[in-house]
Every structure is written in C-alpha cells, then in structure tokens.
Amino acid sequence: MYGLNGRILEVDLTTNNYRVVEVEEKIYKLFMGGRGLATYILAKTLGEKWRLLDPLSPENPLIIATGPLTGYYPGIKLIVSGKSPQSNGVVGSAISSELAVELKAAGYDAIVVKGASEKPVYLYIEDNRVEIRDASDLWGLRGRELIEKLVEKAKREHGLERPPGHLYIGPAGENLVRTAAVMAKLAHASGYGGYGAVMGSKKLKAILVKGNNPLPRIYNPEKFIELRQQAVKTLVERFARFRQWGTVSGTWYHGYHTSSMPIKNWQEEWHDNKEFSPGGFESKTWVKNPWADYGCPTACMKLSRTIAHGDKYVTDGPDYEMAAYLGTNLGVFKPEDAVRLSAVADDLGLCGIQTGNVVGFAIELYEKGLLTKEDVGYELKWGDVEAIEKLLYDIAYRRGIGRILAEGVYRAALELSRVKNTDLLKYTVQVKGIGIGAHGIRSGLDYPQPIAYACSVQGGDHTSVAGLPVKSTESEAWAAIMDSSVVCMFNDLGDNFILEYLNAVTGWNYTLDDLYNTGRRILTLQRILLLLGGPDVTWNPLEHDDNPPRFYEPLPTGPYKGRATDKSKVLELKAKYYAELGWDEKGVPREETMDKLGLGEFKNLLKQLVQG
C-alpha cells in the first residue's frame, strides 16, 4: 500500500481502551479516505441501527480522517465526521490542522473515538503511545485560554517545545450546542455537521497528536516531486491576488458584484458599503498578512485584531463566510465589529455560519414581532453588536432563549413554531437542518446552481454543493473526492491534475471515470444514510429536497432586484441530477446503481429506506 498507513486508531472512552484496526487497500480504493472512509465506517458499523442512533449518544463515533493525499498535496485539511446532530446524516466537515500530517506520521490514517467518558478527558497520541488523560483543568476553558494551557502542557507533560497538532472544543461543544464546531489553532473550525457537540457528548475536550515517523512511502517518487513542484508553482503564481486578499475579497465581490451575500437573514443579498470590503478589513483590522498553515503555498488567511471596551479580540481573516454570517447577515457593516463577533464565536467554539444563521433568524423574528423582549430578555436589533455578542454567549452556555437557539436553526424554528403556534420554518434559510453557506443562488451569478443546496447530501453546506454535470468539478461528486483524498478546496487544480497526483502517490492507476465513480459511490451512501435519518428528524425528499422559501422571493435591492430562483428550473435540474446519479425520481438510489458502484453490501440499508 502506498500513500496510506492502512491503520485506524480506535479509542473507546467508555472502556478506556484503544486498538489498531487494519484496513484493506480495497476499501481505500473504493472510498479513498476522509469523508468517504468515514461514510463507509458509519454505514458498515451503524447502518442497520442508523434510524435509532442519537447523534449525541455514546454510540455515535467521532471520526477524524485523513486521506491518501494528506501530507503530499499542499495544504493540511482533515475531515471530522460521524452522524450529524444537525442533518442526522453524514457530513464530511473539513478543517485545517497540522494534526492531519502528525496523525499520518504517527502511523494512522484516521481516529475513531467511540463511547463517552464520565469525566473530561483529552487524547494524547504520539506514535504508538495513546493516552486518555484527565482534562478537568481544561474543561470550561474558551479557545484562547485553552491554547495557552495546551502550550504549557505540551512543554511540561510531553517535553515538546510547542503544542503538537491539535483539535479541541470550546464551551459550546461542552454544552452540546448543535451549532458547535470542532476547532483548531484559535480560529479554524470544522463547523458543518455540529461535531463540536458530538465531541462534547464524549466529554472529550481536545485531541493532541505528535507523529515522529516518515509518511508512508510513495508509489512514484519522481513523478510526485514533479507534480508537487508544479502544484506549488501554479498555486503561488495563480493565486497572488487570493494570497493578498484571501476569501474576504468576497465581502465586496459577492456583496456588490454578484449580489449573493446574506444580508439580514437573507432578506437582501446586495450591499454597496465600501467600508465592508477587503480594503476596509485590511486598513481596520489586519495585523498579519498572509497567515498560512503548514505547507500551504496559497496562504489565504489573515490575522485580525480589534479592541472594544478594553478587550482584545483576535481571529483569522475573518474569512468571507464569517464576515458574511457574523457581519452582513446580522446587519453588521463595520469590519471591526465583524472581527469582534467572529473572535467571540471562535473563542466559544461556535460555528460562525450555523450560529450566524440562527441569530439572523432570531433577529428577523424580533423585527417582525414574533419574538419579544420578554422572550429574549433584551432587545434584538440588526447591527447591535453588544446584544449579538450577548446572544452568542447565551447560545454557547444554553441560557434563556439561547437554550432554544442552541438547537440550530431548524430545530429552534420547530420549537418556536410550537410555542408561538405559528409556522416559523418559512423564515429559516437552511436545507435539511444545515444553514446555507454565504453564497446565494437568486442572482444566478455566484457559483452554486439552483439545486446546489436542495440536492446536496450535506444540506446547506456551501463546500459540498450539488451541480451538473456530475462528471465535472462543478458537482458534489467532486466535493466528495476533494474531501476524501483529502485536498483543501482552495488548492484544487482541476480533476486531471488531482487524478495524476493521486496515481503518483498511491499507484492505483485510476482513470477519470474511476475517480468520479468514487465520488458517486460516496454520495450514494451518504444519501441513503441522510434519508434514513432519525431518531428525532427524518427528511422526505419530495418536501425537503428544495430551497428555503426565501430563495423563491425576488431580490428586493441591488442591480439584480427582482431576480428569484425559478421553481420549475429547480424541478427540471433535480430530475436531471437524480437521473445522472442513477437515483430514482425521489432521489433514492436505485439497486442497480448500488451494484454498479460496488455498494452491494449496503443494499439492506436501501431496503430499510424503501420499506419506510
């Protein structure tokens, strides 16, 4: 086996044991790693009882997975997964952390954390040494303070000069907030899926990994060196502007030019506030540019800082999604305010997208008189940074209205609809429990197609959008390949290049068809688990494979005023998309498709689904 260790570390926090599980190469060839491997493990070990599996129970594993290109391709993404407490399906949630390379150098391709500890613990892994250690002194700490402690611990207890690759949760994860992220390095987040809550349910505060071995051998080292040099050269040359401005360039590009940025819970998608632009962030908040993770030539990140009431707030970029969701979506149009809220969300371990989505929903309800001061305890207004910051804390600590909003926008809407005795779901901007990323579809100018979110196996995840044709980098099959190989989507150099790279590292001799069939295989298995869902929520494809109602309302402002998503186009594309994937008219994978994709062993799950 090349490019992979063929070993998974399985840790059981209930029994305080661990073991190494060998994985055959044929499994990697079918599912690669990352998202694909996680989906396979979940379907194989828990598929039969998927509908009964509570995502926040000890039975739901937390999976941290690398892929065959981890450590070889520029960038250091890894995938966090498990049964999602947001969608009740499988989400491959990407995050940048040096832990990816450290894990592979420690001799493992993935960690599967099972069970739950009675008291707070953290995992320390150094090659063959696996320790489940007491984390009583870490529990309750927010991001910045936690990292300081981890640095101290790394020196004192593990004799390391600096902390090894790490992942952790903040108070939001500890309190089982469904919009909690798994965090790394102060401001990196694996937000989609809500796996911070899964980690919290296991009383697992952090995972630290140090690998001292060489990475697994490469099939064709000469070709690999040539491709690696080409990748670095192309990324450096091609992304000079991206390196300068990072994704925050979207604050103006998507806010002004493509009219696809969430504003006030997506009531609008256009702004012309020149201050809320890359230049505004650069002049008001940036203290370091660029900022990058290990081995990444693209270096799209920045470090931002602002001071309010004497308190310092530090975060990255913030990247476009944070600026959008903790900025314009909440009526915040000052860079320093968006940085402040982004830093608070990071520190609390909240996913900025999902939390910004549910907060936007709450403010709109307040604006419409559907939530009152009595409900909230204070006034909620667009752009009121003090109130929004307070609400972020209330969500993270599940206080007051925060108890309901901590359930994420879908479940919060269900509960508030019940309490208020009126339909509030129509104000949610989510698909299958997952708030939509900050790229709208109404103007038709941003990258997501009209079925992008409606048909995604990861709901509103903007990094995994459904698209046609399926055999193209515009499709979700491609997103699944990126998340399984595992490559950062910002370092993507096209399918042919990734194919050549993968073959040089693994020696699999894949064709482009093999590669896309791997993507189809992963999507098909994810789709089955998503539709099985349960226990508290299940999805009906006829009703839920759709956009939120807001996307069918005409844009009220900007140069594309009046544009809305065309429902008949959505239905037409949906039918075409299902047919291309070999799914039936409801989007249920066909038996022959499963045979063709080598998913025969999972037909029992399909049977469960069809039998209802």
Report the candidate in 360, 339, 332, 342 with the shortest Cα–Cα distance to residue 286: 339
Q: Which is nearer to other proteins, 380 or 522 (CB)?
A: 522
| 259 Cα distance to chain centroid | 24
Max CA-CA distance within the chain? 68
Q: Which residues bind other proteins (CB under 8 A)?
A: 234, 237-239, 241-242, 246-247, 249-250, 253, 258, 319-321, 437, 439, 444-447, 449, 462-463, 465, 467-469, 472-475, 489-490, 492-497
Cα-Cα-Cα-Cα dihedral sign, residues 396, 112, 95, 136: positive
Contact between residue 322 and residue 345 where contact means Cβ atoms under 8 Å apart? yes
Residue closer to other proteins (CB basis): 46 or 445: 445
Q: What is the C-alpha separation between 368 and 372, in angstroms, rounded?
A: 9
CB-based contacts of 540: which residues, under 8 Å, 6+ apart?
A: none
CB of 276 to other proteins, least distance (A): 15
Q: Which is nearer to other proteins, 202 or 520 (CB)?
A: 520
Bridge-partner residues for 303, per DSSP? 288, 316
Q: Which is nearer to other proteins, 122 or 252 (CB)?
A: 252
Minimum Å distance from CB 512 to other proteins? 9
By beta-carbon proximity to other proteins, the closer residue of 378 and 447 is 447
Sequence length of the chain is 612
Residue 321's region, left for phi above 0, alpha for psi from -120 to 50, else beta, is alpha
State whether residue 111 is helix, strand or coil.
strand
Spatial separation of the C-alpha atoms in residues 170 and 183, rounded to whole Å: 8
> Minimum Å distance from CB 398 to other proteins?
30
Closer by beta carbon to other proteins, 436 or else 531: 436
Secondary element (H or E) of residue 34 = helix 34-46
Name residues whose C-beta falls within 8 Å of residue 341's C-beta, 6 or more positions apart in sequence: 326, 327, 330, 332, 385, 388, 389, 392
**Among 420, 402, 294, 312, CA closest to 358:** 402
The minimum distance between CB 438 and other proteins, in angstroms, equals 8
Centroid of chain to Cα 232: 25
Sign of CA dihedral 69, 486, 346, 325: positive
Give the residue with the Cβ less far from other proteins, 116 or 470.
470
Q: Kindly state the smallest distance separating residue 351's Cβ from other proteins, in Å.
A: 15
Question: In the bound complex, what is the minimum distance in angstroms from residue 500's beta carbon to other proteins?
Answer: 8
Q: How far is the CB of 50 from other proteins (least distance, A)?
A: 29
- CA count, 13 A, side-chain hemisphere, 513: 2
In the bound complex, what is the minimum distance in angstroms from residue 462's beta carbon to other proteins?
5
Closer to other proteins by Cβ: residue 422 or 472 = 472
Looking at beta carbons only, is 471 or 544 nearer to other proteins?
Answer: 471
Q: 3-class DSSP state for residue 210?
A: strand
In order, the DSSP letters of 413-431 are HHHHHHHHTS--GGG--EE
Instruction: State the DSSP code for 322.
Output: H
Q: How far is the CB of 580 from other proteins (least distance, A)?
A: 12
Q: Tell me whether residue 269 or residue 446 sits nearer to other proteins (CB atom).
A: 446
Q: Which is nearer to other proteins, 230 or 417 (CB)?
A: 230
CA–CA distance, 277 with 337 (Å, rounded to integer): 13
Quote the least distance from Cβ 566 to other proteins, whole Å.
13
State the pairing for strand pair 121-126/129-134.
Answer: antiparallel
Instruction: Give the shortest CB-14-to-other proteins separation in angstroms.
Output: 38
